[in-house]
Amino acid sequence: MKIIITGILGQDGANMAEYILKNTQHDIFGVMRRSSNPNFINCANFLTNPRFKLVYGDLTDSVSIDSLVRDIQPDYFINFGAQSFVGCSWEMPLQTFDTNATGVVRCLEAIRKHKKTCRFYSAGSSEEFGDVAYSPQDILHPIKPRSPYGASKASARHNVKVYRESYGLYAVHGILFNHEGTKRGEEFVTRKITKGVARIIHSIRNKKSFAPIELGNLDAKRDWSDSEDFVDGVWKMLNQEKPKDYVLSSNETHTIREFINKAFAVVNIDGIWHGNGINEELSLPNYLVEEHDIYSSVLVKINPKFYRPAEVDLLLGDSNPARQELGWQPKISFDNLVERMVKYDVDNFKI
Ligand code: NDP
Ligand code: GDR
């Protein structure tokens, strides 16, 4: 079998490739867009695997998507490529829509024309639920996006349904809640925090001053899981008898502040919160400042530039149907996830 995976240099694309290489005998064609300075760090474990091949393609370029499907004749097309950063989608609404929504139609059209039996995965998001109507959110929750990113994913969802019903394609649009890990991009809040904790603990241990981690809204609540658990759920969604969309989530929600507390606890720092709103800060307790003989003490401060024009305040998923009907079971808890990310970033810290 031949599998096209877009977004191969990103978190989920790389984890999906590792999962498929390990659990099947299929060949993978990993799609990357042309870049003057590509970063292959997430693909280090499989770049030289004989069952893996890198190919160029861009979701904004119909010719490249059409040619890939025509020439490779894939059995599965897993579309993880996206402008995936919600915060940036207000600055680049058209590029976000072209990549995330029109890009999905380009994939569906290429499959319809050249390989109708190819199974297609569309990377849907809990951001489609936006200002949520109820909790926990299940697959029937109304679509109420709050960002150009969320709106682009909602549009992709409608088109997947249209192509499934019009042409009988096996196409699914999984609704995935936040998922993280050691391959997570550094601008997302979890990785920004774990990289920041690594930088700060390194400074403290070397008796050097440090700058605080600057963040936006700490009250937002997210349902966080590990990406490695989710690629298993995606593969199960692609291998049902009939295509059906599911939610994948941890079924727990935590504030950004809770994530910060857990992350510092991994390196034995029990910070002290004080102040409110934009003046809120997390500081080192005095005994640690004295013990380590350092001048800096602010670990986290607010920078309003990280606030969003519209926020999704609360996400909490209901993935029970996926657990019961697909037999999917996540293995990594919230505490394990934070610990894994912090330890990885501390161990791999470079100045
Ligand atoms: P990443 O940002 O880590 O990876 C996205 C990849 O898409 C990058 O490798 C990027 O390439 C590539 N890409 C961007 N634009 C294009 C384009 N025009 N053509 C081809 N490739 C492109 O995201 P994740 O791995 O975290 O997410 C995977 C998918 O799942 C995305 O669609 C995301 O929106 C969706 N999703 C993610 C969730 C999460 O919590 N992680 C939750 C729900 C949905 P480059 O490396 O060159 O930038
Ligand atoms: P999200 O992830 O928008 O949920 O989208 P992100 O980690 O960017 O934000 C989560 C929450 O943290 C708040 N926040 C900050 N966020 C960032 N990035 N940087 C900060 O400094 C900061 N301070 C506070 C945000 O306001 C937000 O509430 C992710 C992406 O992976 C999407 O592609 C995916 O679809 C959704 O998850 C589900």
pLDDT value at 232 more than 90: yes
322 vs 66: CA distance, rounded Å:
32
Query: Mean pLDDT throughout 197-224?
Result: 96
* Nearest residue (CA) to ligand 1, atom 34: 84
Rg of the chain (C-alpha set): 21
- pLDDT of 73-112, one tens digit each? 999 999 999 999 999 999 999 999 999 999 999 999 999 9
Banded model confidence at residue 288, pLDDT cuts 50, 70, 90: confident
For 32, list phi and psi in degrees, rounded to 5: -120, 150
**Cβ(9) – ligand 1 distance below 6 Å:** yes
Secondary structure of 162-183 in the HEC alphabet? Answer: HHHHHHCCCEEEEEECCEECCC
Instruction: Using a pLDDT cut of 70, give the percent of the chain over it.
Output: 100
Ligand 1, residue 124: give the atom nearest the CA.
44
For 239, list phi and psi in degrees, rounded to 5: -120, 35
For ligand 1, the distance from its centroid to the CA atom of residue 82, given in whole angstroms, is 4
List Cβ neighbours of 306 (8 Å cut-off, separation of 6 or more). 87, 214, 215, 216, 217
For ligand 2, the distance from its centroid to the CA atom of residue 130, given in whole angstroms, is 13
Output the pLDDT for position 289.
Answer: 82
Question: What is the chain's mean pLDDT, rounded?
Answer: 97
Ligand 2, residue 308: give the atom nearest the CA.
26
Query: Mean pLDDT throughout 254-281?
Result: 97
- pLDDT of 5-64, one tens digit each? 999 999 999 999 999 999 999 999 999 999 999 999 999 999 999 999 999 999 999 999
For ligand 1, the distance from its centroid to the CA atom of residue 199, given in whole angstroms, is 26
- pLDDT of 105-152, one tens digit each? 999 999 999 999 999 999 999 999 999 999 999 999 999 999 999 999
Asked whether the beta carbons of 127 and 85 are under 8 A apart, the reply is no
* Nearest residue (CA) to ligand 1, atom 2: 84
76 membership: H or E segment, kind and range: strand 76-79
* Nearest residue (CA) to ligand 2, atom 32: 84
**Cβ(179) – ligand 1 distance below 6 Å:** yes
Banded model confidence at residue 213, pLDDT cuts 50, 70, 90: very high
**Cβ(101) – ligand 1 distance below 6 Å:** no
336 vs 325: CA distance, rounded Å:
26
44 vs 270: CA distance, rounded Å:
35
Task: Name the DSSP class of 42.
Answer: G
255 vs 244: CA distance, rounded Å:
31
Query: Mean pLDDT throughout 232-236?
Result: 98
